Chain A
Amino acid sequence: MGLSRREFLKTTAALTAAALAGIDLPLKGEDLAQAAEVDGWFRGTCRFCGVGCRVELGVKNGRPVAIRGVPQSRTNMGYLCMKGMLFYQLMRHPDRLKRPLYRARKTDQFREISWEEALDIAAEKFAQALKTYGPASVAYYGSGQALTEETYLFQKVMRAGLRTNNVEGNPRLCMASAVGGYITSFGADEPIGSYADIEQAFCFFIIGSNMAEAHPVLFRRVMRRKLDNPDKVFVINADPRVSPTSRIADIHLQFEPGTDLALLNAMAYVILEEKLYNEDFIKNYCAFRLGKQKKRVSFEEYKKFIAVYTPERAADICKGNITPEIIRLVARKFATSPATMSFWTMGINQRIRGVWANNLIHNLHLLTGQLCRPGADSFSLTGQPNACGGVREGGGLCHILPGHRPVKVDKLRHQVEDLWGVPRGRIPAKPGYHTMAMFSAVNQGKIKAIWINCTSPAQSLPNADKYRKGLAREDVFVVVTDIFPTKTTELANLVLPTAFHFEKTGVYGCTERRSQLTVKAVDPPGEAKPEVWIVREWALKLADKLKDPVVKKCVEPFLGLEEGYALPKAIWDEYTQKLTAGRDNDLRGAPYEVLKKLPDGVQWPAPTKEWALRGGTYKKFVRGLDPLADIHAVDERPYQFYGPAHKDRKLWIWLRPHKGPAEEPDAEYPFYLSTGRVIDHWHTSSMTGRIKELMRANPYAYVEINPKDAKRLGIGPGDMVLVETRRGRNILPAKVYEGPMEKMVFVYWHDMAEERMINRVTKDAFDPGSKEPEFKICACKIRRLSGPKPLKPYIVRL
């Protein structure tokens, strides 16, 4: 007898879940063939963090009805998290932007206009700014959530068409320090290893990352490794705040915010003092470097430098639960484990010395040779799904051209001009404004027209009020492309509705150098359009208005192509076949037809289709595993560090002193304020805030306060608390919780409500190297205002 529809669905759900766990269920699988509940499954990548989980969207009668993980995927093995579970609701959400909206003045109401008129206005305003004030007066600010094809085409038109390097993106706010760390330590951006190292590691060093909430599917693999080998695998979690990540840790190091550099140097001290370093690895592959001039120094000089970072001194600096004995213990575990893997995210990157903090983690791996072997890697986790693929690799930052080419290197810049068929000299030799400089330039009226794509800087910039004033200026024309209203559309003149994930085709490149294709499954609502169509049509109008054939030349290869598949495919082909050829992120072997054949895409370098069809490169720089390591080999050694930034082909161990945060607590502002994510919400919550379930779970931000501080200040659970910094005030309900350490409070940053929007009070100091702001640390004071009050969640609607 056949199953009822509901029984069928339950059986399908149970069998799918059991298969992931490797359990055979005694259910009648043959019955599943009787009823197809979807018309088709479309494969893609989840867009709610940087892990790159593969997911399939089930479509019936043209609408999304089901999702499931892809079990063959080496990123998620079929598992998904809560954010990934509910994204399909956004596709048919009534708040979706469906038609172009325009207002001449920002105080006016928006009115609906046609695409023809919208693109004409956008082209006119950018052309006008360019003609009147020059190329530096126009800017593009993009996103690590935009597809690679989108970022690539936007930056091509801006650089070669409009002659400006004012091309930036929100990855500057989250992972620029990781980029700086990889380039200065290893000579090349992005991790050497892969997620596959997790199952081969014996020690995990997780610092400045709440992986359990920010990257839950990847964290499952770490936990699985620990649970399967409880006595062999050791987990160290280092964070000023106890988080769900701490639950599986053997040791939780709780130190004062901003003291991480001292802790990391002290671990190096123990490694040297106890001779736990790998002399051969250092001798064969490493060099020691100092200062801005990158002066080469000796191992002996490094030893002298590190001699002041005794565990005793570091414990004094770090405070919390840090003792000299704990530092010695974790250093020994790190160094002597058969394979150690480090993970970090914003706790390390969003620091006034984020690049240095990255360098010091890499130092530990270099000193101990915990690199290039199975299970050993120094691995920066990415926050967004395409910060690596689109922005870091595709040319989405002011100083980087596609294919990891620095703007300032004449030869590489000319290479790009030649590949695009535009005259040499078309791309300016000077990098454009980095993010904080770009919005400062908006404040000063130097930028007259800015295009903001798929991100909401009005909420995500630190010290946001300061920069919202600039965006509100009537002499600054603001175009926003997005799927929902945001705090930034509130400051826009022109709002253009875009297609969402699975409503268009394109590639995301996740944390582990892996490029994966998402294929269009359903049509976007109303008149929403893919960004690649928008840029192409805009560029054509710009070319007319500027009477500049080079602008048209930028989009000429893509004219007339259908926007759902053929257009992004042609863009991807140009990018991979021309721009990545011969570069360290060589993706020539990975056109769409190859990406479609594989369940989880391709890891670069993948210079040939044959190599790509094997999945690409699991481990960079290792001969036999990385084809470029063989091509660029200069001797017989097994590791060949061909990274373009280090001509000496060495990995650099840096002498970096301890440096505290830009703003430390004092008598007036005695608390540390730190910010971060909660599992239910993604970034500014413009998407997750519209999923009722996620919003109900965390309807508004709160301030986490240590119970001892709460008791001292008379603050009870739910009480309304004033959080004040030198930049402004927030009023938030209290969560009294053994999470943050004493003298520290923590606030989630997703809330859009003015009184709870924490980036109104965070500090906009930034790392002088990476230009990434120090979101994680500033000084604040707190005070109980009243007992609990009923609050309403808030989200921007037009």
Chain B
Amino acid sequence: MCVFKKGRGKGPGLLQEANMPIGGFVIHVWPAKKPQVLKELAREERLSVYAHDDKGHVVVVIETETSEEMAHLVRSLSLIEGIFTINLAYLYGEDEVEKIESGAYKPQTVFGKAFR
């Protein structure tokens, strides 16, 4: 069964244009636990559910301010009872790469210095 269902969150196009990145994921869910999982996912503002099926596939798009935030979110989602894995299919992060290049965003900034 294929069900189309937009997320209750901000929905397509509601975030500011500059907010990146955007990720398309397939969440794999125990089929018997899918209803509870969908309820949990519906609470998440940064996530839109696009479809799900009887096999336990749930297609979602996640949009966050940074990929750090996205990775955090994916990790916390993976702890939801009934989800056994979350796989990425597509990630767009141009703005973040621009920020890394310009020095505006430096992945990992809290480390110490090497001993010599």
> Which residues from chain A sit less than 8 Å from chain B, CB to CB?
3-7, 9-26, 37, 58, 60, 63-69, 78-82, 84-86, 88-89, 92-94, 107, 109, 212, 216-217, 219-220, 223-224, 227-228, 247-248, 485, 490, 680, 689-697, 753-754, 792-798
Partner of A11, one of B12, B74, B91: B12
Q: Is there an interface contact between A79 and B87, defined as CB atoms closer than 8 Å?
A: yes
Partner of B94, one of A18, A66, A694: A66
- What mask results when residues 50 to 85 of chain B are scored 1 for a CB within 8 Å of chain A, else 0? 111101110111010011101110110000000011
CA A754 to CA B55, docked complex, whole Å: 47
Closest B residue to A19 using CB positions: B89
Q: Is there an interface contact between A80 and B87, defined as CB atoms closer than 8 Å?
A: yes
Q: Is there an interface contact between B75 and A697, defined as CB atoms closer than 8 Å?
A: yes
Closest B residue to A223 using CB positions: B84
Q: Which residues of chain A have C-beta atoms less than 8 A from B97's C-beta?
A: 63-65, 88-89, 92
CA A64 to CA B97, docked complex, whole Å: 7
CA A21 to CA B29, docked complex, whole Å: 12
CA A16 to CA B91, docked complex, whole Å: 10
Name 30 A/B residue pairs within 8 A (Cβ), A-sorted.
A4-B17, A6-B22, A13-B23, A14-B24, A14-B50, A15-B24, A17-B89, A17-B90, A21-B53, A21-B59, A22-B53, A23-B57, A25-B4, A60-B94, A66-B90, A66-B93, A67-B88, A68-B89, A81-B87, A82-B71, A82-B75, A217-B87, A219-B85, A485-B114, A693-B72, A697-B71, A792-B111, A793-B108, A794-B111, A794-B112
Question: Closest approach, in angstroms, between the C-beta of A63 and any C-beta of chain B?
Answer: 6
Q: When A24-B2, A85-B88 are in contact, do A695 and B13 touch as well, CB less than 8 Å? A: no
**In which size bucket is the chain B interface?**
35 or more
Answer yes or no: B41 CB below 8 A from chain A CBs: no
Q: Which residues of chain A have C-beta atoms less than 8 A from B101's C-beta?
A: 63, 92
Partner of B50, one of A25, A78, A93: A25
Question: Closest approach, in angstroms, between the C-beta of A761 and any C-beta of chain B?
Answer: 18
Q: Is there an interface contact between A17 and B61, defined as CB atoms closer than 8 Å?
A: yes
CA A4 to CA B11, docked complex, whole Å: 13
Q: Which residues of chain B have C-beta atoms less than 8 A from A64's C-beta?
A: 97
CA A695 to CA B12, docked complex, whole Å: 30
Partner of A18, one of B13, B50, B55, B109: B50
Question: Closest approach, in angstroms, between the C-beta of A131 and any C-beta of chain B?
Answer: 31
Q: When A227-B56, A490-B114 are in contact, do A89 and B90 touch as well, CB less than 8 Å? A: no
Q: Is there an interface contact between A693 and B71, defined as CB atoms closer than 8 Å?
A: yes
CA A202 to CA B87, docked complex, whole Å: 24
Answer yes or no: B116 CB below 8 A from chain A CBs: yes
Q: Is there an interface contact between A6 and B114, defined as CB atoms closer than 8 Å?
A: no
Q: Which residues of chain B have C-beta atoms less than 8 A from A12's C-beta?
A: 24, 90, 92
Answer yes or no: B8 CB below 8 A from chain A CBs: no
Closest B residue to A3 using CB positions: B13
Q: Which residues of chain B have C-beta atoms less than 8 A from A692's C-beta?
A: 68, 107-109
Q: When A14-B24, A797-B114 are in contact, do A693 and B68 touch as well, CB less than 8 Å? A: yes
